[in-house]
Structure 1
Amino acid sequence: MTAADAEGKCPFCGEANTCMAKSRQPCWCIAATIPAELVELVPAPAKGKACICQACVRRYNRDPASFRSR
């Protein structure tokens, strides 16, 4: 997997993160509240390179302890 491929995948679930940060369209995350605690869980190689997908943000917000344990 190339670095460009990794940028398009969520570092937690590996699914497409649908990030629009590098496009002219506004990204969903502009209006989202992403907990700092979740961002801290991003694996070191993906920090600052891969965005967390909406589904993982929702999963974390529903049950942070369960998300951390998987």
Structure 2
Amino acid sequence: ELTDLGIKDVETGSVWNLVGMAVSGELKGTQLTPVIHASHFWFAWAVFKPETEVRDSVEDLTA
């Protein structure tokens, strides 16, 4: 769920910012562990995850 502060984790109620830090909720102060990932083609992602929102910047999260 998108909030003014970031993305809300519905399981814990924690809100995560774009760098993976919980800024509020049960896990406040916790840093997510980065995961290794591969580059994906946008068209393939968009077909399987049409609900994806593309943001230009951090400021877009609060706009």
TM range (shorter): under 0.3
Larger RCO (CA within 8 A; separation ≥ 6): 1
Bigger fraction of residues in strand:
2
Bigger fraction of residues in helix:
1
Largest Rg, 1 or 2: 2
TM, length-normalised to structure 1: 0.24
